[in-house]
Amino acid sequence: MKTNRELTALITGSSRGIGKAIAVELASYGISIILNYIDSDDEAAGLSQEMHNNGRNVLAIKADVADRSQVKLMVARTVEEFGKIDILVNNAGITLDKTIKNLSYSDWDSVLSVNLTGVFNVTKEVLPHMIPLGRGCIINISSVIGQTGAVGQSNYSASKAGVIGFSKSCALEVARYGITVNAICPGYVETDMLKAVPADVLDKIKQRIPLRRFARPEEIAKLVRFLATDGDYITGQCININGGVFTG
């Protein structure tokens, strides 16, 4: 790859949580950042301003990854601004947790459309801009729940399992162009999603984790940064970062 200051990274769902940590981490290595968000206007504006103040090259774009027309516009604007996309991190995701008997068709469709179809939408639009470069890095954020399943999370689990399969297939298709594709499967991470879980349930989850703590978003971000800048020979992999809660 080129030097970091010549790299551009598009990170979906990057105004908060894991996505924000990834944006901050990559920017700290001199990589130009496209922040993508959908309903966190204040957070996106604040992060963008903070990064500008720190001398980072950043552009914030509001777009729903489930909406193909919005994705097309986001990618077109990115290329217009930076000329290329070297790194894509598909991080945007939502949860709508219910047991299957209580899960509505809308709950199913909404989660799959963002978490899985959104990954396809953005990747499909970005690839035509990566292929001519003869290089590129795509990192898809999956989840340990996509590997183990979880009660009340059939839609989320299915979407994240799909991300793993998509990543492996995509990696085989684009390796000839010098593009790597990998999935990262975080365990339980200290984000807003986790904060919504009742305290007694969190305690039970923590007791199942060999390292006896939840991950910090920054720890996931460091793995993304490694793949983006030093992982040129790693592709088609599902990389776990979960404190030992799942070792398959």
Query: pLDDT (tens digit, 9 = 90+) per residue, 191-234?
Result: 987 887 888 989 999 999 999 999 999 999 999 999 999 999 99
Is the distance from CB of 45 to CB of 60 less than 8 angstroms? yes
pLDDT bracket for residue 15 (50, 70, 90):
very high
pLDDT at position 198: 87
Q: Please state, in angstroms and rounded to a whole number, the distance separating the CA atoms of residues 120 and 19.
A: 18
Is the distance from CB of 139 to CB of 87 less than 8 angstroms? yes
Give residue 17's identity as a one-letter amino acid code.
G
pLDDT at position 248: 83
Q: How does the average pLDDT of the chain come out, rounded?
A: 96
156 catalytic? Reply is: yes
Residues in the chain: 248
pLDDT at position 5: 59
Is the distance from CB of 223 to CB of 184 less than 8 angstroms? yes
Is the distance from CB of 120 to CB of 12 less than 8 angstroms? no
What share of the chain has pLDDT > 70, as a percent? Answer: 98
Give 31's DSSP letter.
Answer: -
Q: Which is the catalytic residue, given 37, 105, 156, 233? A: 156
Q: Please state, in angstroms and rounded to a whole number, the distance separating the CA atoms of residues 130 and 236.
A: 17
**Token output for 232:** 């040129």
Tens digits of residue pLDDT in 66-82 = 999 999 999 999 999 99
Residue among 187, 185, 149 at smallest CA distance from 164: 185
pLDDT of residue 25 exceeding 80: yes
pLDDT at position 2: 47
The reply to whether the predicted model has a pTM over 0.85 is: yes
Q: Please state, in angstroms and rounded to a whole number, the distance separating the CA atoms of residues 248 and 207.
A: 19
Q: Please state, in angstroms and rounded to a whole number, the distance separating the CA atoms of residues 49 and 33.
A: 12
Q: What domains are defined for the chain?
A: 4-238 (3.40.50.720)
Q: How many helices (H) and strands (E) does the chain have?
A: 10, 7
In sequence order, which ranges of the chain are alpha helices (DSSP H)? 17-28, 41-53, 68-82, 105-112, 118-130, 145-148, 154-174, 192-195, 199-208, 217-230
Residue among 103, 207, 195 at smallest CA distance from 156: 103
**Token output for 217:** 């978003």
pLDDT bracket for residue 1 (50, 70, 90):
very low
